[in-house]
Structure 1
Amino acid sequence: MGIIATNFNEQIELLKSRGMELDYSEEKVKEFLLDIGYYRLGFYWNPFEIDNKHNFQKGTKFSDIIKLYYLDVDLRNLLSRYINRIEINFRAKIIYYVSNKFKGSPTWFFDPAIMMASFVSQPEKYYNSKFISNNKPIKMHHRKYINDKYAPAWKTLEFFTFGTILTIYQNIKDEGIKGRISNVYGVRDVKKFINLMSNTLLIRNLCAHGDIMFDFRAPKGLSVIPDITFNKGDRNSLDASIKVILYFLGKISINRQNDLEKELQVLFDKFNKNENLKKIIKEKINYLDI
């Protein structure tokens, strides 16, 4: 093989040869390399590279790379916390509205009269022995009601993932009840609602799995609705996704919406005097209020 692993000393010399200013002691740089990893840090020094040989623009400091890395970490943690509020609210709305619409079918989520065949044809994908054993209330339900194939929706859906909850919503046959739920969030068009909620789910998953956030681009442009204005008309940037998250929060709690706006401002303002990071926040994230 032509590619071999490199040690700390080789990695440090390589960074120096490409023009990186190591404004920490070499021991501290080694500590960062072992803590975060050379390859992962590469995603954060990529914006500072000027050619395909990975040389850096003049004045690129290792400390700026570390600051950008921790900006990303803080951003993931912040968004994850607020998206959790949206997830819980969305789950509660589906449980309440659909269960009351179809009172005669407490396990409506696998009822072929209510759900599309593509979903109900593979219940074992979502509801199996592992699912039962991993969730104590579901396990207790089956011990008490030994003849029940599934626990009712108000129990079961509490333990389904955000992704499964959204899949259930998409597979409900009754467009009226889907519209009623999307209207709770001020979105009349169900397809637009699914687009916006799907992107929120994507951001949630990226945060949960430690993905790189600052240069995120949505694979599909976010749907246009009257109450959301995207900076520079960019419907794919991370800022566009943040605006959707803020929109959903505002339909749940104005206080939580305000809290996220304030916390984002505080986070980005930390880098207001660092021109390199300020440029990345404006051009990559598309957050202009800095």
Structure 2
Amino acid sequence: MGNVATNFTKQIEILKSRGMVLDLSEDKIKEILLDIGYYRLGFYWNPFEVDKDHNFIEGTKFSDVVCLYYLDVDLRNLLLKYINRIEINFRTKVVYYVSNINKKSPVWFIDKQVISQDFINNIDYHYNDDFIKNSRPIKLHHQKYINDKYAPAWKTLEYFTFGTILKIFKCLNDVKTQETISKQFDVLNLSKFINIMETIVLVRNCCAHSGVIFDITTPKGISILPGITFNKNNRHCLDSAIKVIQLILSKISNDRKNDLEKSINDLFKSHEDNPIIKKIIEDKIGYVY
């Protein structure tokens, strides 16, 4: 679209000129463009482009682009549901183990004996007036205990993001405490556990913020662990990230792990009759039918 806004008529003309088959009615296409947006849909017709001028593979259909978009929506919603279970479980374990080891320090997340000075120096980024205002129990705590600068860890961490909880975990001074928590998920190597959790947080953030998930790649290779086989030895694709999500989920609830695995397989297999979408699932996501 360049730097100049365009209306529906111009957008449709651009798609036609680049070779897209507009196999839906013009009214329906306009409805979709107003619903999803030309720019956002561009992420989903990108796999169909053949050159830097954004021309499309011959026979590229608008309906296939929309189909890929809704596959991505379904995938994000599905993954977010199960990652939420991991997030809560991980947060609970961090709060429980660190708080019980440091009983005399209820606000241990700003205690230099417990956590690195780097995290403490940046606490205002996480715990500030907006945080207090937007977290009702934290707000009520400060109204009741007016001399407290911070609420106790078991209250505060409940309202920190998954990414912040992982950051706190990584900043703990006591490696033994980190290893205790890692072992709760049957991962004995601490660096591998951190790598896996970073992967899960990356996928979670993409899903939570409506990012494009089908072609996500992890900046770091996902750690190799017993029981996981990465398709084509690709340790950066979404399918490999899903495998480690299933692994961690299985340590919380094997039933939920099986539910996720079945739901993912059912979702992808529902598109196997569409060769265009099937190829994208195989090539971009890394899934093997």
In the superposition, the TM-score normalised over structure 2's length comes to 0.96
Question: Could you tell me which amino acid in structure 1 is paired with residue 175 of structure 2?
Answer: E
Measure, in 2, the Cα distance between the counterparts of 1:142 and 1:6: 50
Give the equivalent residue in structure 1 for 2:264.
264
Measure, in 1, the Cα distance between the counterparts of 2:45 and 2:224: 33
Q: Can you list the C-alpha shifts for 1:221-257, whole angstroms capped at 9, x where unaligned?
A: 1111112221111000011111111111101000110
Measure, in 1, the Cα distance between the counterparts of 2:237 and 2:84: 21
| Structure 1 residue 3 displacement after superposition | 4.5
Give the equivalent residue in structure 1 for 2:97.
97
Q: Report which stretch shifted further, 269-278 or 124-133.
A: 124-133
Give the equivalent residue in structure 2 for 1:113.
113
Give the equivalent residue in structure 2 for 1:181.
181
Change (3 A) 1:278 1:99: same
Give the equivalent residue in structure 1 for 2:147.
147
Measure, in 1, the Cα distance between the counterparts of 2:213 and 2:40: 13
Q: Can you list the C-alpha shifts for 1:4-25, whole angstroms capped at 9, x where unaligned?
A: 3222122212212222111111
| Structure 1 residue 55 displacement after superposition | 1.7
Give the equivalent residue in structure 2 for 1:79.
79
Q: Can you list the C-alpha shifts for 1:119-161, whole angstroms capped at 9, x where unaligned?
A: 1123222222322222222222223333322221111111111
- Helix, strand or coil for the counterpart of 2:63? helix
How do 1:1-290 and structure 2 match up within 5 A? 3-289=3-289
Question: Could you tell me which amino acid in structure 1 is paired with residue 110 of structure 2?
Answer: F
Measure, in 1, the Cα distance between the counterparts of 2:236 and 2:92: 28
Measure, in 2, the Cα distance between the counterparts of 1:29 and 1:59: 17
Q: Can you list the C-alpha shifts for 1:25-47, whole angstroms capped at 9, x where unaligned?
A: 11111111111111211111111
| Structure 1 residue 288 displacement after superposition | 0.5
Change (3 A) 1:142 1:11: closer
Runs of at least 5 residues in structure 2 that lack an aligned partner in the other structure: none
**Which aligned segments of 4 or more residues in structure 1 are displaced greater than 3 angstroms?**
none
Question: Could you tell me which amino acid in structure 2 is paired with residue 86 of structure 1?
Answer: I
Question: Could you tell me which amino acid in structure 1 is paired with residue 38 of structure 2?
Answer: Y
| Structure 1 residue 284 displacement after superposition | 0.5
- Helix, strand or coil for the counterpart of 2:251? helix
Measure, in 1, the Cα distance between the counterparts of 2:37 and 2:151: 45
| Structure 1 residue 50 displacement after superposition | 1.7
Measure, in 2, the Cα distance between the counterparts of 1:115 and 1:43: 41
Measure, in 1, the Cα distance between the counterparts of 2:64 and 2:42: 12
Question: Could you tell me which amino acid in structure 1 is paired with residue 83 of structure 2?
Answer: I
Identity over aligned pairs, percent: 59
Q: Report which stretch shifted further, 277-286 or 26-35.
A: 26-35
Measure, in 1, the Cα distance between the counterparts of 2:124 and 2:216: 34
Question: Could you tell me which amino acid in structure 2 is paired with residue 125 of structure 1?
Answer: Y
Aligned residues: 288
Measure, in 2, the Cα distance between the counterparts of 1:144 and 1:39: 48
| Structure 1 residue 193 displacement after superposition | 0.8
- Helix, strand or coil for the counterpart of 2:288? coil
| Structure 1 residue 69 displacement after superposition | 0.4
Measure, in 1, the Cα distance between the counterparts of 2:143 and 2:11: 58
Measure, in 2, the Cα distance between the counterparts of 1:209 and 1:132: 22
Measure, in 2, the Cα distance between the counterparts of 1:242 and 1:105: 37
- Helix, strand or coil for the counterpart of 2:150? coil
The RMSD of aligned alpha carbons is 1.3
Q: Report which stretch shifted further, 140-149 or 89-98.
A: 140-149
Runs of at least 5 residues in structure 1 that lack an aligned partner in the other structure: none
Measure, in 2, the Cα distance between the counterparts of 1:19 and 1:130: 49
- Helix, strand or coil for the counterpart of 1:252? coil
